[in-house]
Chain A
Amino acid sequence: MLGLNKKDTSLFLIVVALTVFAPFILNPFPVGSDLAQFNAGYPDLMQRFLIFGIFAIGFNILFGLTGYLSFGHAAFLGVGSYAGVWMMKLLTMNVVPAILVSVVVAGLFSLLVGWISLRRSGIYFSILTLAFAQMSFALAYSVLTPITGGETGLQLSLSDPRVFGVSATPQGSIPLTNFFGLEMRDSAELALGGWLFTFNAGYYLCAVLMLAAFYVAIRIFRSPFGMMLKAVKSNQQRMQYTGLNPKPYTLAAFVISGMYAGLAGGLMVSMDPLAGAERMFWTASGEVVLMTILGGAGTLIGPVLGAGFIKYMENIVSKINEGILHTWFGFLPDGLEDFVVAVFYPFVGKGWHLTLGIMFMLVVIFLPGGIVEGGQRIARLFRRRPARAHERSVGAPSSSAAE
């Protein structure tokens, strides 16, 4: 179906189903229950899952396939956000031009950065991309303030021209982002018993674009071009003596992943029309590396899982404070309660980075294929057939790495 093989089609359909029904799936606990704080089914966070999913899917086309580790991809996301906000200031609050221009501008910028950085490989390539991103960050804060809004960030204002829209609503406020009139903030709510589910227009716009981005990524992975990108990672010497020029292949992958980052940036400002330089800071570039590796670099679904995992930790685990821990362990005798809370405390709340760091180390050391490899190992435990065990261990890494 859709020009994909059976396995990829079912993977794609599963992702479609999960995305469409996410408002239910991510809200398993009734409102007001103790566990309600673990619900992730609110629009803001669900949008972020998808937006960072897109960012990571694109990053994986570069890093997962060619092995070139960029430490500056947040710059493309940042540039995309600025371009998007400018479209809303100048043209219209319809998100379509904003998103399109974000992708194009990020693509052009990544063409420039890639063209220069890809003169080197390995650690020098990574450092060059990092330097570019940090330079962009610093410029956005200083000399480029007229374009970027400097420290306050780039915001909409009542005096923006918006030639195809209105500068201000009749009520005198800034108009809202919309998709041909459908406001991104619009939500429908469904109360079922103790549960409350929210279906948000912005979320579903993100969903459509994320699914499209995912579909394109699957096609790239299975295309002759994708095969060449794997060849770049495997043996560039052999490529050259085989009549192939690795440079344009790598540059194309770099630009494609830059455009994915731009799409993520454009969607971000479509949901919340504000762009700040901190989006280009090196930690933001590092985050997408973590997402991709944690989920499984070079796998199709891994980056999406990694993005979801990290965003969940950042937004949910980080909100668990000492008081909440005390209510959980309140059933224990006082002394023991304090002890248990003291043990858990460093790992939650502001300490969520510690948990993430430990998880990341464990994954890199024991599961180099990330969450996806973990899943595969578990699946294999359940359907192990001794006769096939050897064949799998020989053929598995490359064929399964791409799953």
Chain B
Amino acid sequence: MGILEVKNVNKSFGGLKALREVNLDVAEGSVHAIIGPNGAGKSTLLNTLIAKLTPDTGSVTFDGRPLIGMTPHQINQIGVARVFQTPEIFGELSLLENVMIPAFARRDGAFGLHAWNQVVAERDIRDRAMSLLADLKLDGKAHVEAQHLSRGDKRRLELAMCLVQEPKLLLLDEPTAGMSRADTNRTIELLKEIAKRGITMVVIEHDMHVVFSLAQKISVLAQGAIIAEDLPENIKGNPKVQEAYLGGAHL
């Protein structure tokens, strides 16, 4: 039994069946990749995990608890963090503030009326946020407004925001899109290190170099259905997968 279990999830948008009978079983401490062509339903699947969308039918269990019916902040509070496909950051706030906010959320819960304490006096939180920014080579920009970052930097900032929470499960929607080759490689190294700490990861990625560097297991999604789930070395040769990509150059 995995830490994350998705059972027979269906989701339609009007007439479009975005997810059909999707099953996913993610082992604790593993890196599980989800690949598939554009529009396959990968992001939609992640959305059903964090209550951004409610599935029409099916169940989602994390750490033995059913997630359906919980609010997004409750799901995060039990240890699920996500990097989005289009970065979701606090654009008007500084990078440091962007990372301190999730750190406060982890320490104080979904709501805390700390109106008298001063942020500058919160040394621990500040230091943790700074060290994460440093891990992602963003510490030089700690006081820049987040909206001025490049797309790749925004994504790394979002990763820092997730990591500062030390989640049990990290959901990554194309974490290296928009990054240079060098930044991509650096991110791979970072993610490997995070995996070593025992954080479970679900990674959506188009870049096969990233997928094969990280994943212990790969699920292939096409037109809303899982068409294959296997070890990386077996996925490459799977004829169904090759057909789904229709000669797609990645494989």
- A interface residue numbers (CB < 8 A to B): 3-5, 219-220, 222-228, 230-231, 233-235, 237-245, 248-249, 252, 256, 394-395, 397-399
Contacts and interface: CB of A to CB of B under 8 A. Distances in A.
Nearest to B171: A241
A224 B125 CA distance: 11
Contacts of B106: 243
Given A238-B90, A398-B92, A231 B114 contact: no
A254 to B, nearest CB: 13
Interface stretch (B93-101, B181-189, B224-232, B235-243): B93-101
Nearest to B72: A240
B117 A224 contact: yes
A94 to B, nearest CB: 28
Interface stretch (B12-20, B32-40, B143-151, B193-201): B143-151
A395 B90 contact: no
Nearest to B114: A224
A230 B101 CA distance: 10
A233 B76 CA distance: 20
Given A234-B93, A242-B76, A394-B145, A224 B108 contact: yes
Given A223-B116, A241-B50, A228 B110 contact: no
A399 B52 CA distance: 32
Contact of A242 (B101, B115, B116, B122): B101
B110 A244 contact: yes
B111 A245 contact: yes
B102 A224 contact: no
B161 interface: yes
Interface string B52-91: 1000000000000000000111001100011010001111
A373 to B, nearest CB: 15
B180 interface: no
Given A233-B92, A243-B76, 7 more contacts: A219-B118, A224-B119, A230-B97, A231-B101, A240-B76, A244-B101, A398-B145
Contact of B93 (A5, A230, A240): A230
The 3 residue pairs across chains A and B that have the minimum distance between CB atoms: A243-B76, A243-B105, A225-B115
Given A243-B102, A399-B94, A227 B119 contact: yes
B120 interface: yes
Given A234-B93, A237-B88, A243-B105, A225 B110 contact: no
A394 B143 CA distance: 10
Interface in B110-163: 110-122, 143-145, 148, 161
A228 B104 contact: yes
Interface of B: 50, 52, 71-73, 76-77, 81-82, 84, 88-94, 97, 100-102, 104-106, 108-122, 143-145, 148, 161, 165
Contacts of A397: 92, 145
A367 B73 CA distance: 37
A212 to B, nearest CB: 13
**Residue in B50, B90, B120 with the greatest tally of chain A CB atoms within 10 Å:** B90
A244 B111 contact: yes
A397 B144 CA distance: 10
Contact of A398 (B82, B94, B101, B105): B94
Given A228-B101, A243-B165, A394-B144, A223 B92 contact: no
Contacts of A220: 115
A231 B93 CA distance: 8
A225 B77 contact: no
B9 to A, nearest CB: 19
Given A219-B118, A397-B92, A242 B144 contact: no
A234 B118 contact: no
Contacts of A249: 111
Contacts of A227: 93, 97, 100-101, 104, 119
A398 B97 CA distance: 11
B91 A225 contact: no
Contacts of B84: 241
A58 to B, nearest CB: 13
B90 A235 contact: yes
Contacts of B145: 394-395, 397-398
A394 B95 CA distance: 13
Given A234-B90, A242-B102, A244-B101, A219 B119 contact: no
Contacts of B122: 224
